[in-house]
Structure 1
Amino acid sequence: MDYTTLRHFADSWGLLAMTVFFIGAVLFALRPGGKQAAERAAQIPLKED
């Protein structure tokens, strides 16, 4: 594979894969019940064992 082939792949399918990943991450963060899970995770370092 040469540079041109890799660049073409990154410009097309690589960009599509990053876009799909970004949309999935946003949807995961904004899902119902996500706020409660994030609040619980944020309190972990503050817990006294």
Structure 2
Amino acid sequence: METYTAMRHFADSWGLLAMTIFFVGVVLFTFRPGARKAAENAAEIPLKED
């Protein structure tokens, strides 16, 4: 039972902080300058002829 309590406290504090930092990082990566062109190029890959 003590392990559960320790893991619960960890998840409530540092786990939440880690997930928040990860989410912010993904959002910043997605909306960085130049991301639109890279996404458009990736979307056109299936339509390109061999």
Normalization by structure 2: what TM-score?
0.91
The answer to whether structure 1 residue 4 and structure 2 residue 5 are counterparts is yes
The aligned length equals 49
For residue 47 of structure 1, report the CA deviation from its aligned partner: 1.5
What runs of 5+ residues in structure 2 fail to find an aligned partner?
Answer: none
Q: Which runs of 4+ in 1 moved over 6 A?
A: none
Q: RMSD of the alignment, in Å?
A: 1.1
Q: Which runs of 5+ in 1 are unaligned?
A: none
Measure the CA separation in 2 of the matches of 1:7 and 1:43: 45
Q: Percent identity?
A: 71
TM-score by length of 1: 0.92
